[in-house]
Amino acid sequence: MGYDPNNPMEGRITDLGPRHYSEMLPPVIAANKGKWDYHEILAPGVLVHVAESGDKCFTVRVGSPRLISIEYIRELCDIADKYCKGYLRFTTRNNVEFMTDSKESCDALIADLKGRTTKFPIGGTGASITNIVHTQGWIHCHTPATDASGPVKAVMDDLFEYFGSMVLPAQVRIALACCLNMCGAVHASDIAILGIHRKPPMVDHGRITGVCEIPLAISACPLGAIKPAKAQVDGKEVKSVQVNAERCMFCGNCYTMCPAMPLADPDGDGIAILVGGKVSNSKSMPKFSKLVVPFLPNTPPRWPETVQVIRKIVEVYAKDARKYERIGEWAERIGWEKFFEKCDIPFTDKSIDDYRLAYDTWRTSTQFKFTKATAAYTSK
Amino acid sequence: MAKHATPLLDELEKGPWPSFVTDMKRQAETHPECWDILGQLELSYKDKITHWKHGGIVGVFGYGGGIVGRYSDVPKRFPGVEHFHTVRIAQPSGLYYSTKNLRGLMDLWDKYGSGMTNMHGSTGDMIFLGTRTENLEPLFWDLTHNLEQDLGGSGSNLRTPSCCLGESRCEWACYDAQDVCHHLTMHYQDEIHRPAFPYKFKFKFSACPNDCVASIARSDFALIGTWKDDIRIDQAAVKEYIAGNYPANAGAHAGRDWGKFDIKKEVLDLCPTGCMWMEGGELKIDNAECTRCMHCINVMPRALKPGKEKGATVCIGAKAPILDGAQFATMVIPFLEVSKENEYENVIDVIEQVWDWWMEVGKNRERVGETMQRVGLPTFLRVMEVEALPQHVKEPRSNPYVFWREEEVEGGWQRDVEEFRRKHNA
Ligand code: HEM
Ligand code: HEM
Ligand code: SF4
Ligand code: SF4
Ligand code: SF4
Ligand code: SF4
């Protein structure tokens, strides 16, 4: 028996949930769960966990584009069958991890992976740049202001040397979201790539009454820029909305709620860069990422402007920061004015908060450093 | 043979990082609709806008979510993506797979879908990317009948919970994140599949404050492992670190010469509370002053371990910027036992306390973090029946605009101005 469209509820099974995790654990993991003693990073991308029993679990972490095919996954399965007793896992940043209980099979696995050019690059551990958590982009979403998979590929190509090495002061987490719904980790990453719009939505008066609940569109606006309005369509008066362009900051939330308010635009849309966020509690409390570059154009297929800014930030940070210092900790220690100067990023009024609790982010002190930015005020 | 020219996307086949374009082209050999994904994406690269129509409501009977509908706005040119719905598949806790299970899932998607996936969505689901409406029910049938597993969540409901790998392969796990995650996912199947909330709600479980699943930033309800007794110190191992026999931070900085390990510089001086010192060659920690940030443990994993009295801290209300700005989760319950023995009853009690209240007072499309902001933390703490503690704030308020409830004030608020006038003429 299979699905019968004439009897849709017949034989239907629901509420099964996921498969139980215990079916999925490699034997050495199942045997030592909760009894690990310590771990060590043997080489970039290669970890060993040592259990109280003395058992060892070797892990090889490889980068993946996240958007992957059945064929790619079957290839992962072939590798796992060959070296890992038929088990593998994915990480919370969409890397793939192969685990074995012996050094020999671990070495054989590494040799095999290295033999496949850089299809399965080994790395992403320790003070490295690991995979970029990212979103749907033009592959699947209707609200993006930029693509996801393309910019991620361009940035990872450029920073590839940092994936397979551990030369940074601390780990650097990069994330991308293609609009400010921020499906993922953009608001709390060391470096964040964020798709933004710069033009207010258009209103499709001819369709709005048919496709939108107008009060929902109005209440979707964080700045109250939308109000109900009458419009003329083919000589007939219809209920619609009006957008006060002066108050709109192009978030796109009204379009999320109302298909008749599209705002995507080839020239208006692009990328903002935020830096200095983190989620771990190690040393300092979790931090939000902060906007340092308000706009870079969408330049498919390789987004060179975005790639260049990110490399610059990584290189300056790598040279200047102290051991264990995350980008946000470094920027706060040296002062944001120095961050802009050292990274050679022009400061603009777009980085000054003017939303609700903005005042807390202004400098209410005489403590600041003179930089290039203050030159005009220091030359007599 | 390529169905569309993709000169822009072809550029993304270059470079060392694994290319999604190369992979998709390979898949297109058996799933020709992949050419249309590439074709439409190429068009987006040229036009610099998305070519997906707004929204799309599809699903399977009995569920209110799990599938995100999507239609191309250029279906004539790219018929293979006319319908391009994504299916969210509930993932096993910790993202471990047997190849048997993965192969079964791939065979299923081979049969009904485009052949492309996301491993994984940021919430945690395995994402099957792109199929037609008429395939949804047969796919769901095979998924449940043959593979005995289920869809994930979408919509105004409990989304798919996720966790760090926890005890399975980490010596710092303060509770079994995988087990709590699985247990609660099963316990709340109804809330996952049938939207009944004012808006979406997410659980995430990290078994220590390193928070490898970013629960404090990405979930409405974050359970973060911690301990309440003393950090365990192995003094002999401390000496090994000082002697340079064990690599600091487990070797995380091995790619660069940072000089010889200096316990003062790398641990004592970086402790946020300054509660560590060396005395007679031994490392000392004033645990009463420790905020359990994990730094010293991260740096010396062979010498330092979390305490033995373990549990978790509950933080509530993280969200992305829309509508009122991004929020991290706020610490609400400092320490909660997390025990399999009582089937996580006390975790469940806390969750339901939040839900009972939020389902009633939360406005349409208002995340719980926004509801907390609207009513204020003091009111929320009363809802949670948690006493106000200094730990609930980074600092006390500085403005004096303080609300008092009438019953807190002697004599109440009902007053007679005539009586006032008897002592104070106008
Ligand atoms: C050196 C000691 C550490 C160990 C043994 C460790 C352990 C782990 C493990 C096992 C994972 C995989 C989790 C999963 O996929 O479920 C992971 C990932 C992660 N950890 Fe840690 N962690 C350590 C330190 C930290 C610190 C200090 C931070 C933050 C400052 C952190 C943040 C993260 C993040 C964001 C991920 C996701 C990365 C990925 O999946 O590729 N971890 N960590
Ligand atoms: C309408 C088109 C949208 C699409 C195609 C989309 C797609 C996705 C996908 C695929 C995920 C990962 C899901 C998973 O792992 O199960 C996700 C997560 C997320 N979505 Fe969306 N989303 C959309 C709308 C929104 C909206 C309107 C918001 C907020 C107002 C939003 C906020 C988020 C957030 C914050 C996450 C990440 C949560 C986490 O890190 O766990 N999304 N989205
Ligand atoms: S970040 Fe925005 S555009 Fe990107 S997938 Fe999420 S909702 Fe869609
Ligand atoms: S784009 Fe955002 S700010 Fe502009 S009108 Fe729409 S909801 Fe309001
Ligand atoms: S959150 Fe803590 S317990 Fe969980 S994997 Fe990360 S370091 Fe280990
Ligand atoms: S855990 Fe953090 S606060 Fe506690 S002793 Fe170690 S470094 Fe200091």
For residue A78, what pLDDT band results from cuts at 50, 70 and 90?
very high
Count of the separate structural domains present in chain A: 3
What is residue A87's predicted lDDT score, i.e. its pLDDT?
Answer: 98
For CA atoms B22, B23, B26, B30, the dihedral sign is negative
For residue A348, what pLDDT band results from cuts at 50, 70 and 90?
very high
Residue A288, domain member (yes or no): yes
Q: Is residue A67 located within the same domain as residue A86?
A: yes
**Domain locations in chain B?**
7-154, 160-228+309-392, 232-305
**Closest approach atom of ligand 6 to CA B291:** 3
Q: Cα dist. A10→A363, B59, B141, B400 in Å? A: 66, 17, 11, 63
For residue B257, what pLDDT band results from cuts at 50, 70 and 90?
very high
Fold equal for B7-154 and B232-305: yes
* Domain's final residue, options A264, A298, A319: A264
Residues in B touching A11 (Cβ below 8 Å): 141, 145
CA of B158 to the centre of ligand 4 (A): 27
* Lowest-pLDDT choice from A348-357, B19-28, B163-172, B382-391: A348-357
Residue A16, domain member (yes or no): no
Element housing B23 (H / E): helix B20-28
Report the candidate in A131, A173, A163, A165 with the shortest Cα–Cα distance to residue A149: A131
Give the nearest partner residue to A283 out of B31, B272, B326, using CB atoms: B272
Residue A37 dihedral angles phi and psi, to the nearest 5°:
-100, -50
Q: Is residue A88 located within the same domain as residue A193?
A: no
Q: Could you tell me which CATH number the domain at B160-228+309-392 has?
A: 3.30.413.10
Report the candidate in B319, B289, B285 with the shortest Cα–Cα distance to residue B305: B285
Question: Is residue A366 predicted with pLDDT exceeding 80?
Answer: yes
Pocket (CB within 6 angstroms of ligand 1): A 39, 91-93, 95, 124, 130-131, 173, 280, 282; B 94, 164-165, 169-170, 210, 212, 214, 249-250, 252, 298
For position A226, which CATH number holds?
3.30.70.20
Rounded Cα distance, A68 and A84, in Å: 21
Instruction: Mention every residue, 6+ apart, whose C-beta is less than 8 A from residue B5.
Output: B42
Q: Is residue A92 located within the same domain as residue A81?
A: yes
The letter for the amino acid at A34 is G
Q: Ligand 4 in contact with A179 (CB < 6 A)?
A: no
Best mutation site among A133, A140, A143 for ligand 3 pocket (most ligand atoms within 8 Å of CB): A143
B127-184 pLDDT, tens digit per residue, is 999 999 999 999 999 999 999 999 999 989 999 999 999 999 999 999 999 999 999 9
Q: Is residue A297 located within the same domain as residue A166?
A: yes
What is residue B1's predicted lDDT score, i.e. its pLDDT?
Answer: 65
Is there a cis peptide before residue B120, judged by omega within 30 degrees of 0?
Answer: yes
Residue A123, domain member (yes or no): no
Q: Which domain holds residue A206?
A: 200-264
Residue A175, domain member (yes or no): yes
* Lowest-pLDDT choice from A8-22, B164-178, B319-333: B319-333
Contact flag B170-A39 (C-beta cutoff 8 Å): yes
- Counting one residue from chain A and one from chain B, the pairs whose CB atoms sit within 8 A come to 412
A53/chain B closest Cα distance in angstroms? 13
Contact (Cβ atoms closer than 8 angstroms) between residue A135 and residue B122: yes
Alpha helical stretches, state H, chain A: 27-32, 70-83, 103-115, 149-158, 160-163, 205-211, 214-219, 253-257, 304-320, 327-334, 336-343, 375-378
What is residue A309's predicted lDDT score, i.e. its pLDDT?
Answer: 98
Instruction: Return the CA Rg of chain A.
Output: 25
Structure tokens at B271: 């402790």
Contact flag B320-A16 (C-beta cutoff 8 Å): no
* Total length of chain A: 380
Residue A182, domain member (yes or no): yes
Contact flag B62-A12 (C-beta cutoff 8 Å): yes
Q: Is residue A259 located within the same domain as residue A302?
A: no
Output the residue whose Cα is nearest ligand 3's atom 3: A144
Question: Is residue A1 predicted with pLDDT exceeding 80?
Answer: no
Contact flag B217-A185 (C-beta cutoff 8 Å): yes
What 8-state DSSP symbol labels residue B288? G
For position A271, which CATH number holds?
3.30.413.10
* Domain's final residue, options A233, A264, A295: A264
The residue-averaged pLDDT of B68-78 equals 96
Output the residue whose Cα is nearest ligand 6's atom 6: B296
Q: Is residue A87 located within the same domain as residue A52?
A: yes
For residue B222, what pLDDT band results from cuts at 50, 70 and 90?
very high
CA A276 from centre of chain: 13
Q: Could you tell me which CATH number the domain at B232-305 has?
A: 3.30.70.20
The residue-averaged pLDDT of A154-183 equals 96
Report the candidate in A181, A74, A200, A82 with the shortest Cα–Cα distance to residue A137: A181
What is residue B324's predicted lDDT score, i.e. its pLDDT?
Answer: 82
Q: Is residue A34 located within the same domain as residue A163?
A: no
Q: Cα dist. B204→A52, A307, B201, B222 in Å? A: 28, 32, 10, 5
A203-239 pLDDT, tens digit per residue, is 999 999 999 999 999 999 999 999 999 999 999 999 9
* Lowest-pLDDT choice from A59-63, A191-195, A332-336, B396-400: B396-400
Q: Is residue A231 located within the same domain as residue A102?
A: no
Q: Is B192 helix (H, G, I), strand (E, B) or coil?
A: helix
Rounded Cα distance, B105 and B116, in Å: 12
Q: Ligand 6 in contact with B214 (CB < 6 A)?
A: no
Contact (Cβ atoms closer than 8 angstroms) between residue B70 and residue B78: no
pTM given for the model: 0.94
A370/chain B closest Cα distance in angstroms? 27
Contact (Cβ atoms closer than 8 angstroms) between residue A286 and residue A241: no
Output the residue whose Cα is nearest ligand 1's atom 12: A91
Q: Is residue A293 located within the same domain as residue A212?
A: no
Contact flag A41-B164 (C-beta cutoff 8 Å): no
Element housing B381 (H / E): helix B377-383
A368/chain B closest Cα distance in angstroms? 24
Determine if residue A137 is left, alpha or beta; phi over 0 gives left, psi from -120 to 50 gives alpha, anything else beta: left
The residue-averaged pLDDT of B389-410 equals 95
């609660």: which residue's tokens?
B184
Q: Is residue A49 located within the same domain as residue A161?
A: no
Question: Is residue B100 predicted with pLDDT exceeding 70?
Answer: yes
What is residue A14's predicted lDDT score, i.e. its pLDDT?
Answer: 97
Rounded Cα distance, A233 and B173, in Å: 62
CA B18 from centre of chain: 26
Residue A155, domain member (yes or no): yes
Contact (Cβ atoms closer than 8 angstroms) between residue A174 and residue A192: yes
For residue A118, what pLDDT band results from cuts at 50, 70 and 90?
confident
**Closest approach atom of ligand 5 to CA B177:** 4
Query: Which site among B98, B110, B134, B293 would you substitute to test the A interface, given the most A Cβ atoms closer than 10 Å to its Cβ?
Result: B98
Q: Which CATH class is domain B7-154?
A: alpha beta
The residue-averaged pLDDT of B70-84 equals 96
Is there a cis peptide before residue B323, judged by omega within 30 degrees of 0?
Answer: yes
ipTM of this complex = 0.96
The residue-averaged pLDDT of B42-56 equals 95
For residue B288, what pLDDT band results from cuts at 50, 70 and 90?
very high
Rounded Cα distance, B146 and A19, in Å: 12
Burial (CB count <10 Å: 0-12, 13-18, 19+), residue B76: exposed
Q: What percent of chain A has pLDDT over 90?
A: 95
């020239």: which residue's tokens?
A267
Q: Is residue A192 located within the same domain as residue A280?
A: yes
For position A106, which CATH number holds?
3.30.70.3340
What is residue B108's predicted lDDT score, i.e. its pLDDT?
Answer: 98
What is residue A120's predicted lDDT score, i.e. its pLDDT?
Answer: 97
For residue B410, the number of C-alpha atoms closer than 13 Å in the C-beta half-sphere is: 0
B233 forms beta bridges with B304
- Residues 172-231 on B with a CB inside 8 Å of A are 173, 176, 178-179, 182, 185-186, 189-190, 193, 209-214, 216-218
Q: Is residue A169 located within the same domain as residue A273?
A: yes
The Cα angle at residue B204 between residues B115 and B387, in degrees rounded to 5: 165
Contact flag A70-B251 (C-beta cutoff 8 Å): no
- Residues 103-162 on B with a CB inside 8 Å of A are 103, 106, 109-110, 115-120, 122, 129-130, 137-138, 140-142, 144-145, 147-150, 162
- For chain A, report the end-to-end CA distance as a whole number of angstroms: 88
Rounded Cα distance, B74 and B79, in Å: 8
Structure tokens at B93: 């806790």
Pocket (CB within 6 angstroms of ligand 2): A 136, 140-143, 181-184, 256; B 68, 88, 120-125, 127, 152, 160, 202, 218, 320, 322
The residue-averaged pLDDT of B266-274 equals 98
What 8-state DSSP symbol labels residue A269? -
B310 forms beta bridges with B227
Contact (Cβ atoms closer than 8 angstroms) between residue B225 and residue B173: yes
Residue of A nearest to B181 (CA): A21
The residue-averaged pLDDT of B66-81 equals 96
The Cα angle at residue B352 between residues B349 and B353, in degrees rounded to 5: 85
Structure tokens at A5: 């469209």
Residue of B nearest to A35 (CA): B171
Q: What percent of chain B has pLDDT over 70?
A: 100
* Domain's final residue, options A61, A96, A116: A116
Between B56 and A63, whose confidence is greater?
A63
What is residue B55's predicted lDDT score, i.e. its pLDDT?
Answer: 78
